[in-house]
Amino acid sequence: MPITFTTLTAAQFRRRVPEMVSIYIRAMGYSSTISGARQSAWNTHSRYLGFHSVAAIEHPAGEEPNPKDPAQPIRGFIYGYRGGNGQWWNTQVKAALMVAGVPPSLRIQLLDNYTELTEIHVDPSWQGNNIGRRLLTIFADSLTSQRLLLSTPEVTSENNRAFHLYRRLGFTDVVRNMHFPGDPRPFAILGSRLPLGDSSSLI
């Protein structure tokens, strides 16, 4: 069956949150015990300013993709929203930039007028089919902010699909080896000017 990349309204996103959290848990190797907390958080995120989501929906040939139809499975998704003061991720990254010795003026510029790419995941059985790249480029093309920032787990030599994708699309380092509360793994914060492919500096 074909895959179609479809923008989800906030209401459609909330309807499919349990399915998307299941993909997230399997893709990240997390325990299923976090499902309820993640669903609650994502439902909250869907009400943030600038919320935007795109899903890769598998549907029968000859039928239109229907985000309301649970019989049409989601094979990958992406979502994010405008970043700002007081948000959890913004607060954590701001602290990491301070620890890294980034001057206050640069911290302000980096965290001004940006979209946080909160989650992008592809069902493990569908990875390697260019779904992640399509999700990210379609998502980014619709944004009006100046920058797109994201976090991704650190891996040796950046040797995984996520890092390869981000580097191919021009994402550069913001801060490396930071830790989020509740997760023992180090993360990289990466960013890109928008539109993707803009070779100018992040700030």
- In a domain, residue 202? The reply is no
Q: Looking at the 3D structure of the chain, how many domains does it have?
A: 1
Helix residue ranges, H only, 81-192 = 88-99, 104-110, 131-141, 161-168
User: In which residue are the tokens 């000017």 written?
Assistant: 193
- In a domain, residue 150? The reply is yes
30 a catalytic residue: no
- In a domain, residue 203? The reply is no
Q: What is the pLDDT of residues 165-187, one digit of tens each?
A: 999 999 999 999 999 998 899 99
Q: What is the pLDDT of residues 81-130, one digit of tens each?
A: 999 999 999 999 999 999 999 999 999 999 999 999 999 999 999 999 99
Which residues, including other chains, have CB under 8 Å from residue 44's CB and lie 6 or more apart? none
**200 pLDDT more than 80:** no
User: Which residue range forms the structural domain that includes residue 132?
Assistant: 3-193
**Active-site residue, selected from the candidate residues 79, 81, 114, 166:** 166
- In a domain, residue 201? The reply is no
- In a domain, residue 112? The reply is yes
pTM to 2 decimals? 0.94
- In a domain, residue 173? The reply is yes
For residue 117, give the CATH number of its domain.
Answer: 3.40.630.30
- In a domain, residue 125? The reply is yes
- In a domain, residue 200? The reply is no
92, 116 contact by CB (below 8 A): no
Mean pLDDT, the chain, as a whole number?
96
